């Protein structure tokens, strides 16, 4: 029992290095922006954010930051950020 648990712990340590084994299908976070907190969610491959910029543009600094943080742990349809996009204001 104990040696098999040790094996699982060793495996977990290896898995934790191999982040592309994990794909976020859904998540909800509280994002602490400079001025306010926002709820950022991913569901069915689509991002949502409660900030006003997102409601106009369909993306924002918060969703793009989440994409950068999670990178290859996101399904392809959730990787939408163009980090070089011109005209994005900070908030
Ligand atoms: Zn936002």
Cα 8 to middle of ligand 1, angstroms: 39
Q: Structure pTM?
A: 0.80
What is the CA 55 to chain-centroid distance, rounded?
A: 19
| Ligand 1 center to 7 CA (angstroms) | 42
Q: Let me know: does 47 contact 77? Beta carbons within 8 Å.
A: no
How many Å lie between the centroid of ligand 1 and the Cα of residue 16? 29
How many angstroms is it from 22 CA to the middle of ligand 1?
A: 24
Q: What proportion of the chain, given as a percentage, has pLDDT over 90?
A: 81
Q: Are 87 and 76 contacting, i.e. CB atoms less than 8 angstroms apart?
A: no
pLDDT digits (tens, 9 = 90+) for 30-61: 999 999 999 999 999 999 999 999 999 999 99
Q: Which residues have CB under 8 Å from 63's CB, separation 6+?
A: 40, 47, 48, 49, 54, 80, 81
Instruction: Report how far residue 7's alpha carbon sits from residue 11's, in angstroms, rounded to the nearest whole number.
Output: 6
């Amino acid at each position: 029992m104990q040696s098999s648990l040790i094996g699982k712990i060793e495996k977990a340590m290896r898995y934790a290095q191999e982040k592309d084994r994990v794909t976020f299908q859904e998540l909800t976070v509280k994002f602490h922006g400079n001025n306010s907190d926002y709820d950022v969610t991913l569901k069915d491959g689509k991002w949502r954010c409660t900030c006003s910029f997102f409601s106009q543009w369909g993306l924002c600094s918060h969703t793009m930051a989440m994409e950068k943080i999670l990178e290859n742990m996101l399904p392809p349809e959730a990787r939408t950020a163009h980090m070089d996009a011109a005209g994005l204001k900070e908030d």
